[in-house]
Structure 1
Amino acid sequence: MQVRNAMSTKVLSIGPDHTLRQAAALMAQRRVGAAVVIDPDSAGIGILTERDILNAIGAGLDPDVERTASHLTRDLVFAPPSWTLHEAASAMVRGGFRHLIIIDGDEPAGVLSVRDIVRVWSHAITANPNVTQPMH
């Protein structure tokens, strides 16, 4: 199975000047664990995850003052929609991250989370109990 079949295509995009509270509110409203951060003045994109927000608040930083630009990850691994779920899961395990931005051309096409992979694999196993290995 390919990433395109499991990814969420409802990508939450925010800017680098959003506060962490604004980002958290948008993520909660959309029920997503990550937001793609697009900075029109900078090359490339970043990602802000719920863990980034948790780490900032846990460090005593003010979520009404802190901006997403200071807490996002820019050194990302991107995947094309054609990757298999196995390739995506392997990249996530190697990199130690739970969200993968899916790029189609130069644009974010979706986000794949560990939850998405588990959901798809568990449905596949439920539908076919003889399957004991993740679908490639």
Structure 2
Amino acid sequence: MKILVINGANMNMLGRREPDIYGKEDYAALCARIYEHAQSRGVAVECFQSNHEGAIIDAIQEADTAFDGIVINPGAYTHYSYAIHDALKAVSIPAVEVHMSDIQKREEFRHLSVTAPACIAQIRGHGFESYTMAIDMLAKLNPEEK
């Protein structure tokens, strides 16, 4: 099984951006944790981050023929990007939306996710573990490939 992990706007600022919410570990540490966890499960992963909506849409579209699933943290695009929603709906592979913080316990504008309905699940509020939980969820969909 091969999973694409997509991180959206400002995720490259982990460790510096609101460490009381997102923690002090940086984006490289997040990717290292993702790679380590995936390898322990026999899953291949690729991490991708962009602050540009179009690049995220391109990555989703390209993943359709190259990957078996997507883990996506759209960042702030979660709350208004119908274009990312539509891209997720257009591909034939499952996606799981993740958030390090619990968006339901933050500012009211963060409560709505327009991208989650295009995903099979949303995992929020578990920090880096939100990603590992999503990888495990997708891996369970294709146990014969592990």
Q: TM-score, normalised by structure 1?
A: 0.30
Higher helix share: 2
Instruction: Give the structure-2-normalised TM-score.
Output: 0.29
